[in-house]
Amino acid sequence: MEVKDKIVIVTGAGSGIGRATAIHFAKFGATVVVSDINTESAQKVVDEIISNKGKAIVNKCNVAKFEEVENLVNSTVNEFGKLDVIVNNAGIGPNLLRTHESRLKDWDAVIAVNQTGVFYCMKVALQQFLEQGYGNIVNIASLAGLKASPNNISYSASKFAVVGMTKSAAMEYATKNIRVNAVCPGYTESALLNQLIGAKPEMDAILKSVIPMKRYGKAEEIADAVVWLASDNTRFITGQTITLDGGTSL
């Protein structure tokens, strides 16, 4: 995939899909800014990339804080002179409560990270992309942003918002050499899935029963699609939501 020498920010890159995506970009020759609120986890990813002769640095960022997002993008540009791609992956999971039982603090936290955080990252990155004349955004949405997801109101709302923001921005900047796409993973092996099954162990069998492939996705499989969308191999693709769910949405 054509991402060699690109400068790429991946948020929430300390684990799960973000980690796999950062490693995958580096494998194909990109320089990766591994961003996470947990610098210890992020450093482990950087160490793994460097041990495999890749290029990466750590940049701590809480995407729910606008000034930290500004620092993330500005420090990246100051360090490398440009920003080619930002992957907005940072997110937190659902609380598995019915809508009337939802706690206000949980709603606020999920929306702050999953929705507002993506907006912040898009806003700041787009300012840089307009200045340099090109850029690429890949947002990590979810199958929960495309179809009904009960007991999941804040997470579902945030991921539907990510899909909408992706499509709106793609139209706004289509003539500016800036592409904006999203991937919508289904049930994928990750900390969020572990959290779900840990809270309700019976969900493991239930979830697999609705996946035609009868297995969960792997983070590396999602990363493949992200890097492809960010590459020069997909120059005519914008405003799309690529669903990776083993057929669940069928």
Q: Report, as residue numbers or ranges, the catalytic residues.
A: 155
Question: What does the alpha-carbon distance between residue 136 and residue 115 come to, in Å, rounded to a whole number?
Answer: 19
Question: What does the alpha-carbon distance between residue 144 and residue 135 come to, in Å, rounded to a whole number?
Answer: 27
Least confident of 8-12, 183-187, 193-197: 193-197
Beta strands in 28-94 (DSSP E): 31-36, 55-60, 85-88
Question: What does the alpha-carbon distance between residue 60 and residue 39 come to, in Å, rounded to a whole number?
Answer: 6
Tokens matching residue 28: 């194909």
Q: Which CATH architecture has domain 7-187+218-243?
A: 3-Layer(aba) Sandwich (3.40)
The yes-or-no verdict on residue 180 having pLDDT over 80 is yes
- The C-alpha angle with vertex 190 and arms to 189 and 195, in degrees rounded to 5, equals 110
| Amino acid, single-letter form, for residue 224 | D
The yes-or-no verdict on residue 111 having pLDDT over 90 is yes
* 24, 224 Cβ separation under 8 angstroms: yes
Amino acid 93: pLDDT? 85
The yes-or-no verdict on residue 192 having pLDDT over 90 is no
